[in-house]
Amino acid sequence: MLRIGLLTSGGDCQALNAAMRGVVKGLSANVPDLEVYGFFNGYHGLIYGDYRLLTSNDFSGILTKGGTILGSSRQPFKLMREPDENGLDKVEAMKSNYYKLNLNCLVILGGNGTQKTANLLREEGLNIIHLPKTIDNDIYGTDMTFGFYSAVNIACEAIDCIHTTAASHNRVFIVEVMGHKVGWLTLYAGVASGADIILLPEIPYDDDKIVEAIEARHKAGKGFTILAVAEGAISKEDAKLSKKELKKKQEKEGYPSVSYRIAKMIGDRTGAEARVTVPGHTQRGGSPCPYDRALCTRLGSAAAKAIMDQKYGNMVAIVDGETKLVPLGEVAGKLKTVDPECKMIKEAKRIGISFGD
C-alpha cells in the first residue's frame, strides 16, 4: 500500500488542480494499492488534522478547473516554529498527522514560502516532494513555474484592452501587474502586449526617464502611452531608503500603490491625463492556459515517478525544457529575480521599450 498526502499552500493559481491530477494519475496507473489524502487549506489542514481520503472521482474533470479543490491559505514560514494561540507546536503537529496516516510521502504544491516550510519538514525527517507553483515565476532552480503563463495571458488581455481606449482618448494608461519582489510577469506581459514603458522591482526607475519617454512619443505623433508597472516597482530615490523609511514615506504620501504615485507625477509634469488600471486577483483566476495544463501534467507525472523511485526531498523542476529533480535544500529560501542585464531586457530596449532607467 502506498499512501500519499497532498496539500496546496499560499496564493492560488490556475493550474493547481491540473498538477494534483498529474500526480495521482501517474501513481494510480502504476501502483496497485494507492491511498491519497488531501489536506484542506494548506498547512493549516496538516497542522490541525483537517483532511479527507480522496477518490478517483475527485480528480476527474479538474484539468481545466482553476483554483484548488483542496483550498489554500498562507502560513508564514517565520511563524512555523512559534506555538499557536493555544500553545500548539505546529511542526510537531504536522509530523504527528503525517505519521498518524502512515504516509509514505507528502506532495506539497506552492511558492517560495511554501517551499521553505516543505524543506523544514524534510529536515524533520518527512518524505517530501515539492511542485513549484506561482504566477511570479520566481522560484529558484526551475526555469518555469506553473501558473505563470496563465497569469501572463490575463495580464496581456488587460493591457490589450487598454490599448484601444488609450488610443481613442490620447491618454497615458498605467496597468499595474502583480509582482512585489520580482518582475517576470510584468516583463513578459509588457513585451507581449506592446507596452511602451515597463517598470520592474529589479530596475529602479527615474521620473525624468519616464517623462522623457512619454514626451518622445508625443513628439513622434503618438498620442498615447501604455505603462506596464509591477506592483513592487520602486524609484531610484526610494530604493536608497531602508524598509522602515520607505514605509513611513509611503504612509505619508497616501497613494494606494506605486502606480497612482506615478500617474500623479506624469499628470503634474506633462499635463497628460493619466489613468490607472489594476487587474489584481483576476491574474490568478480562471482556467489554466494550455501551456500550464501540459506543464502540470509533466510535473505531476515526474513527481509520481520520483515517489515510486523513493527519491524524496526534491522539487520537480523544469530545466532546459526537461523535468528534473532538484534537492530542496539547495533551492529553499532563494529567489529567482530578473537580471537587468539579461537578453530579454536588452532586446526589449532595442525595440524602443523604456524601463525608466
Q: Write out pLDDT tens, residues 309-329.
A: 999 999 999 999 999 999 999
Within-domain flag for 340: no
- What's the pLDDT score for residue 262? 96
pLDDT of residue 54: 96
DSSP class of residue 287 equals P
Cα angle 299, 304, 305 (rounded to 5 degrees) comes to 100
Reported as a pLDDT band with limits 50, 70 and 90, residue 140 is very high
Q: Would you name the residues annotated as active-site residues? A: 136
6 with 136, same domain: the answer is: yes
Q: Are 167 and 86 within one domain?
A: no
Q: How confident is the model at residue 75 (pLDDT cuts 50, 70, 90)?
A: confident
pLDDT tens digits for 208-240? 999 999 999 988 888 889 999 999 999 999 999
**CA-CA-CA-CA torsion sign (357, 238, 182, 279):** negative
CA separation for the pair 171, 222 (Å, rounded):
10
Q: How far apart are CA 258 and CA 263, in angstroms?
A: 9
In the numeric block, which cell numbers belong to residue 170?
490620447
Handedness of CA 127, 131, 134, 136 (dihedral sign): positive
Last residue of a domain, one of 251, 284, 317: 284
Q: Is the pTM above the cut of 0.85? A: yes
User: Do 101 and 157 fall within a single domain?
Assistant: no
> How confident is the model at residue 254, as a pLDDT?
87
Asked whether residue 278 is domain-assigned, the answer is yes
Instruction: Give the domain range for residue 14.
Output: 2-147+288-331
Domain shared by 58 and 207, yes or no: no
CATH number, position 77: 3.40.50.450
Candidates 231, 179, 185, 227; CA nearest to 207 is 227
